[in-house]
Amino acid sequence: MQNYKAPKTDTLFVMNEVFNFEAHYQRLGFTDATPDLVDAIYAEAAKFAEEVLAPINAIGDQEGCQWHDGEVTTPTGFKEAYAKYVEGGWPSMAHPEQYGGQALPYSLASAMAEWFSGANHSWAMYPGLSQGCIDTIKAHGSDVQKEMFLHNLVAGTWTGTMCLTEPHCGSDLGMLKCKAEPNDDGTYKLTGTKIFISAGEHDLSENIVHIVLARLPGAPEGTRGISLFVVPKYHVDAQGNKGERNTVKCGSIEHKMGIKGSATCVINFDEATGVLIGEPNRGLNCMFTFMNIARIGTGLEGLSASEASFQGALAYAKDRLQFRALTGKQNSEGPADPIIVHPDVRRMLLTQKAFAEGNRALAIYCMQLVDETLYGTDAETKQLADNKLSLLTPIVKAFLTETALESTSHGMQVYGGHGYIAEWGMEQLARDTRICTMYEGTTGIQAMDLLARKIMGSKGELLNIVQTEILNYCHRIRDQQQFNAMANAIQSHCDEWQQLTAEIGKSAQQNPNELGAASVDYLMYSGYVLVGYMWLQMAVVAQQKLDAGEGNPAFYQAKLHTAQFYFDRILTRTRAHVSSIRSGADNLMSMPEALFNVS
């Protein structure tokens, strides 16, 4: 199996050279977060990913988690790796000093999280899940609740979960049934069953803090009657001390296609004691505050798989000898040429590379926007970032994970039959990342969030905001003739994007199904254009560096080649999506349900 290598150089290229994170961090008051400090932290993070997490990735898949009488044992090495993670202070990086955190920016912790996931998707989910829990308590908990839970969560000695899904309701949370009844002491007793709870039970941490969506007695039906509770595995006193076992128990774990080292739990609440956080019946609003960050995190998981699969495929393509190049022998001493000489193998590799690097740029760009929304002081700049993020989040979630399915499939295909064999690790990447288009809201859900809520909901205003930035950029580089063709492609896509939006808006007034019928194609179209915009920016920076004679020229030349590939062979996929969007809803809706399985 190919050893995973954290793509630190590329991450830092995007942060420092494309998006000028140095100035960004200074402006937001993170005066310590200099490029040197970031580099030093990232060197350690890369080592942790490569030397601690990657070596236990295959073991995690083979062993999986084991359930016994409510307890879950994680695979060999997971516990030790988590101990090292806590010891290294990684969990506390982007949290307030008040709770023992290091008060570094979100983006700094988030960009490197890609590597943890790339090295070991399953393992990285355990600390990943704590983030949403911490953020929720931080934003909506009382001071007492923060004192109770945050110190240990920030330290990583406790972990967290988000308990939303129930057997009969996934995306449609309005249907949830879990009940919370008030106790005399101001706490609540929660009763119900949650499913698909990642990290719901395991042996990595001393306590597990569940954020649970449930209904109070007499709460309104639907999404307006949902409240948010914190329910720990072990009771916690006001000083944050761990007490007796609470009546929350893991009923079973799921047998899944992949991420087998991640425990996906059925969690039964049997009059379990919890505390309400935030206002009654406003639980879903509290959740949505952090949905953006969670969804970018899932996009990042997809990206991490694209990168890891590319690394594996590239190593094999340079090593495996099979046939001669169509243009004649390239490796005269060997019995055949390495398969990287074959155009179709290069097509697959470049597709992986273009997605990994282009998607990484889009993700990191979003992290910069998140920083602004979290730490910005200028209200207008903050609102602008929030608006952009609002549009970009469903795209990042869905596009980075959908393209990960393609990338990891190419990775297997480059190996031929060997790609199907477990020992090479390529098929595990494909299986592990397959969940990413489904959890945290399916691609279909993201697409409706984008098109119905964000685009139509803002009457196109959010699209205008994002496009203004893109068109300004294209205008700014208009004198660089070398990039005119790429900039023109982006600009004409922006025009078309507006036009498609108007067309859909108009037809949806007659028939709301037009939104659903266009949604996924519209999202993918948007993703291809945005990643094209990223590639344009990376290419422009690469050329600047080459012209200035700075850095490693090979790195920048590779960027220029890959950008060209993206514009020639990937961006052009929008043609099929446009046709599909314009074909309308009738071809989907006119067939009566009863005709689907006549035979």
Residues with catalytic annotation? 440
Whether 430 and 309 have beta carbons less than 8 Å apart is answered as yes
| Rounded Cα gap, residues 232 and 251, in angstroms | 16
Grouping H, G, I as helix, E, B as strand and the rest as coil, residue 565 is helix
- Which residue reads 């020992």 in tokens? 423
Q: Write the CB contacts of 100 (distance below 8 Å, at least 6 apart in sequence).
A: 92, 151, 154, 155
Q: How far apart are CA 339 and CA 318, in angstroms?
A: 7
Stretch in the footprint of a second copy (CB under 8 A) among 295-303, 464-472, 483-491, 591-599: 591-599
Binding to a second copy (CB under 8 A): which residues in 519-538? 519-520
186-205 positions binding a second copy, by CB under 8 A: 196
| Interface with a second copy, residue 512, by CB under 8 A | yes
Q: How far is the CB of 75 from a second copy (least distance, A)?
A: 16
Closest CB to a second copy among 478 and 569?
569
Distance CA 360, CA 377 (A): 27
Q: Does 565 engage in binding with a second copy (CB under 8 A)?
A: yes
Range 424-463, binding a second copy (CB under 8 A): 427, 430-431, 434-435, 437-439, 442-444, 447-448
* Residue choice 43, 139, 144, 321 for contact with a second copy (CB under 8 A): 321
Q: By CB under 8 A, tell whether 311 contacts a second copy.
A: yes
The CB-of-73 to a second copy minimum distance in angstroms stands at 19
Tokens representing 68 are 């016994």
Query: Segment near a second copy (CB under 8 A), from 75-83, 114-122, 382-390, 556-564?
Result: 556-564
Residue 434 contacts by C-beta under 8 Å, 6 or more apart in sequence? Answer: 257, 258, 405
3-state secondary structure of 14: helix
Among 515, 530, 536, 538, binds a second copy (CB under 8 A): 515
The binder of a second copy chosen from 74, 102, 145, 165 (CB under 8 A) = 165
By CB under 8 A, name the one of 40, 139, 144, 421 that touches a second copy.
421
Q: Which of residues 475-494 bind a second copy (CB under 8 A)?
A: none
Which one of residues 180, 517, 524, 538 is an interface residue with a second copy (CB under 8 A)? 517
Q: How far is the CB of 456 from a second copy (least distance, A)?
A: 12
Q: Is 77 left (phi over 0), alpha (psi -120 to 50) or beta?
A: left
Closest distance of CB 343 from a second copy, Å: 3
**Strands (DSSP E) found in 36-187:** 66-68, 71-73, 158-163, 179-182
Q: How far apart are CA 198 and CA 248, in angstroms?
A: 15
Q: Tell me how crowded residue 257 is: count the other CB atoms within 10 A of its CB.
A: 11
Amino acid at 256: K
Q: Which of these segments, 111-119, 171-179, 279-287, 478-486, binds a second copy (CB under 8 A)? A: 171-179
Q: What is the DSSP letter of 440?
A: T
CB of 398 to a second copy, least distance (A): 11
Say which amino acid occupies 565: F
Residue 326 CB, shortest distance to a second copy, in Å, is 4
Pick from 16, 464, 498, 564 the residue near a second copy by CB under 8 A.
564
Nearer to a second copy, 341 or 364 (CB): 341
- Which of 14, 197, 231, 349: binder of a second copy (CB under 8 A)? 349
Instruction: Identify residues 231-260 at the interface with a second copy (CB under 8 A).
Output: 254-258
Contact between 499 and a second copy per CB under 8 A: no
Contact (CB, 8 A) for 336 and 324: yes
Cβ neighbours of residue 216 under 8 Å, at least 6 residues apart? Answer: 180, 181, 182, 188, 225, 227, 280, 281
Among 43, 139, 144, 175, which residue interacts with a second copy (rule: CB under 8 A)? 175
Cα angle 482-356-435, degrees, rounded to a multiple of 5: 150
Task: Report the nearest approach of a second copy to the CB of residue 1 (Å).
Answer: 13
Residue 399 in contact with a second copy, rule: CB under 8 A = no
- Spatial separation of the C-alpha atoms in residues 522 and 501, rounded to whole Å: 9
Binding mask 26-65 for a second copy (x = CB under 8 A): ----------------------------------------
- Residues in Cβ contact with 142 at an 8 Å cutoff, skipping those fewer than 6 apart: 277
Nearest to 271 by CA among 193, 210, 215, 189: 189
549 binds a second copy (CB under 8 A): no
Contacts to a second copy from residues 107-136, by CB under 8 A: none
State the minimum distance, in angstroms, from the CB of residue 476 to a second copy: 26
191 DSSP assignment: E
The verdict on 170 binding a second copy (CB under 8 A) reads yes
Examine residue 179 and tell whether it contacts a second copy (CB under 8 A). Answer: no
Between 144 and 576, CB nearer to a second copy: 576
Query: Taking CB under 8 A as the rule, does residue 422 contact a second copy?
Result: yes
Contact 77, 85 (CB under 8 A): no
Structure-block tokens of residue 63 = 């062993």
Does residue number 3 form part of the binding site for a second copy (CB under 8 A)? no
For a second copy, which residue of 79, 189, 346, 382 counts as binding (CB under 8 A)? 346
Q: What is the DSSP string of 150-178?
A: HHHHHHTSEEEEEE--BTTBSS-GGG---
Residue 597 in the binding site for a second copy (CB under 8 A): yes
Residue 232 carries which DSSP code?
E
How many angstroms separate the Cα of 315 from the Cα of each of 339, 389, 431?
A: 11, 36, 20
